[in-house]
A and B are shown apart, each in its own frame.
Chain A
Amino acid sequence: MSGTLSDRMGAALLMAPLLLFLVLAYAWPFLGVVKWSFTLPTPGLGQYHALLTDELVQSVFIRTLRIAAIVTVVSVTAAYAITVVWVRGSPVQRVLAEFCILVPFWISVLTRAFGWVALLSNRGLINTWLQSIGFISEPLTLVRNEFGVIVGMSHFLIPFAVFPLASAMRSLDERVLLAARGLGSSRMRTFWTVFVPMTRSGIIGSAMITFVFSLGFFVTPAILGGGRSVMIAELIYLRIFQSPDWGLGAAISVVLVVFVGALMALLFRYVKPKQLV
């Protein structure tokens, strides 16, 4: 973007409060966390060494990556379908899709997690209903496990996955799709060979955002996982608030932040920030 010097200074001034807040509330305290990771309980790389050997920490890391990957696939796929309707549907379909995308933003993450418990628990709506129609005799274990966590997290993340996709679909040249049809390609073929590849940057952006978000999830896995499906954020919480193991908690935090930072750097090699909104 080009602008006069005063334009750019104006923009800098408008951004300054947010930047200042981020430095004071996040960057500065995080430096403290970095310091703990090297000093508690004794100075040195002991906690990072422990990370490499502690099987519990490693299994939580792997579970976190696995859940994040599954949630990403589920969310981006579902979001893609919704976005196609939102961007390319009839006016009525567009309004409906918009409603589905925006309403979840108004409901707190806690409310939504407990809502899923009510739906998925042994005596919840889904099990009761399936039993009443005789489809199952014993309740299915749908919650307090990885499945419940994936359902709850996907539900939360789908609206976030929509925006990069919508941006990519809106910037697509309609004539290219007409050209494909004019050359004899069916709607299905046009969708898979032209539409989907042309929204690639949106898919990458959407997947990265969902994946990065998933890595740091706390409330949803804590409630829907019921302690049986602990993810990395919950592990950090447990180390810092429920055991005197601040150093290990801090070291896990640092690793997580570095990992997420690397992912974001990778993302911005392929996608421009403005393509994500």
Chain B
Amino acid sequence: MQQPGRAAEIKANGIGKSFGSFRALDNLSLDIGRGEFLTLLGPSGSGKTTFLMILAGFVQPSEGKLFSDGVDITNRPAEQRAAGMVFQGYALFPHMSVEQNIAFPLKVRKKSASEIKQRVGEMVERVGLKGHEKKLPAQLSGGQQQRVALARALVFEPGVLLLDEPFSALDKSLRGQMQAEMKRLHQETGTTFVFVTHDQSEALALSSRVAIFNHGKLLQVGRPDEVYDRPANRFVAEFLGEINMLPVKGVRPADNGATGLCEDRAVNMRCKAEAIKGDAILAIRPEDMSIAPEASVNQNGIAATAVASTYLGAATKLDLTTRQGAKVTVSVPNEVAAAALSKGNSVWLTWPAEKGFLLPDGGQ
């Protein structure tokens, strides 16, 4: 068992899991640092929850090894792993009061009555459930149940806290509130958090690192800005948010980056072109493009015509078609969008060289 109050460091080595002929997880290796907030992100069936269940000890991997603080825990049963876990739907004990739910892991550990009372009291205070101690879970709101689940999972100071889509049942405003609260709990406890979600904005907002899964494979791990700005492939690029894809021809290395032809104009990219030569796909986020009346020769730019706009409040999403028929979406200030639409004729789309990147898989 890990020492209480100490964040755990986890190492997954070549973890695989098959359910019959279905390959749920394939050759996954991942280091989770002490005190890290790691999000496992992916669509349903991508293997992220399977990996979480393997970390918890509820699912036995078909192959590979799992280490916690350097100790092999691959075959250690869940009840001896001492990982705190918050389930989807919370999985509170319906026959126990808030207090009894939170005291459960301490009772299991045979703590003294006075210690249990003190730590449960602290935890109740910390998650803001004072006055609700004697209530049953069914008498609480969704957000309050969520807090009980967090308190119950953290009260015994586990080395790692595992969270399986904990906010999926909450409405949007409550969700934002709980996210902030979880960030605070992470800072206060210093415990390693491993968080599963399929919501990319949640993943980017909360984590110190994001691990993106698809079809049982770990595609990329990195800081939120890394995976957002420099996705390893098209799936990651598209899963993390809207993105424009433009074909570029004749890609070759150039001064501090690469250069190529996009819609018959020379464009520059800051990313390395070692692996990519010839035809490729240039990807640019909508918010990184701007509308300009014209583009100078040494500026990245293509001509396009605005076709439709969607008002989003803070900004407007503008849909355009390039001369060669590619569809592009940009996010621009509302008045810029209105002007571009009213002009009817072509405008220029420009972007800084460091914002465009080549997809190594050629966009396939």
Which residues of A are at the interface with B, using a C-beta cutoff of 8 A? 173, 175-176, 178-187, 189, 193-194, 197-198, 200
Contacts and interface: CB of A to CB of B under 8 A. Distances in A.
Contacts, number: 67
A183 B152 contact: yes
A182 B78 contact: yes
Contact of B87 (A175, A186, A193, A194): A175
Contacts of A197: 95
Contact of A176 (B78, B83, B92): B92
Task: Tell me what chain A mostly uses at the interface: helix, strand, loop, or mixed.
Answer: helix
A173 B88 CA distance: 11
Contact of B93 (A180, A186, A187, A200): A180
Interface in B56-95: 56-58, 77-85, 87-89, 91-95
A178 B52 CA distance: 13
B108 interface: yes
A275 B85 CA distance: 30
B94 A198 contact: yes
B95 A178 contact: no
Contacts of B91: 173, 175-176, 178-179
B94 A176 contact: yes
B108 to A, nearest CB: 5
Nearest to A184: B108
A179 B108 CA distance: 13
A83 B300 CA distance: 71
B93 A194 contact: yes
Nearest to A197: B95
Interface in B128-144: none
Nearest to B104: A183
Contacts of B56: 178, 182
Contacts of A193: 104
Contacts of A184: 79-80, 82, 105, 108-109, 156
A189 B93 CA distance: 14
Contacts of B88: 175
B11 to A, nearest CB: 20
Q: How many B residues are at the interface, by size bracket?
A: 20 to 34
B95 A198 contact: yes
Contacts of B156: 183-184
A198 B162 CA distance: 25
B153 interface: yes
A44 B88 CA distance: 66
A195 to B, nearest CB: 11
B79 A181 contact: yes
A178 B85 CA distance: 9
Given A175-B89, A175-B91, A178-B56, 4 more contacts: A179-B91, A185-B79, A189-B108, A198-B95
Contact of B85 (A173, A179, A186, A198): A179
A182 B95 contact: no
B102 to A, nearest CB: 10
Given A186-B79, A194-B93, A197-B95, A178 B105 contact: no
**Which of A185, A186, A189, A200 has the most chain B CB atoms closer than 10 A to its own CB?**
A185
Contacts of A194: 93
B130 to A, nearest CB: 22
A176 B93 contact: yes
20 contacts: A175-B87, A175-B88, A175-B89, A176-B92, A178-B56, A178-B78, A179-B93, A180-B104, A181-B58, A182-B58, A182-B84, A183-B84, A183-B85, A183-B152, A183-B153, A184-B109, A187-B79, A189-B108, A198-B93, A198-B95
A182 B58 CA distance: 8
Task: List the 10 closest pairs (A to B, CB-CB), nearest first.
Answer: A175-B91, A179-B91, A183-B105, A182-B85, A197-B95, A184-B108, A176-B91, A175-B87, A185-B108, A181-B78
A189 B108 CA distance: 8
B104 A185 contact: yes
Interface centre among A176, A178, A183, A186 (most CB of B within 10 A): A183
Nearest to A174: B91
Contacts of B153: 183
A86 to B, nearest CB: 23
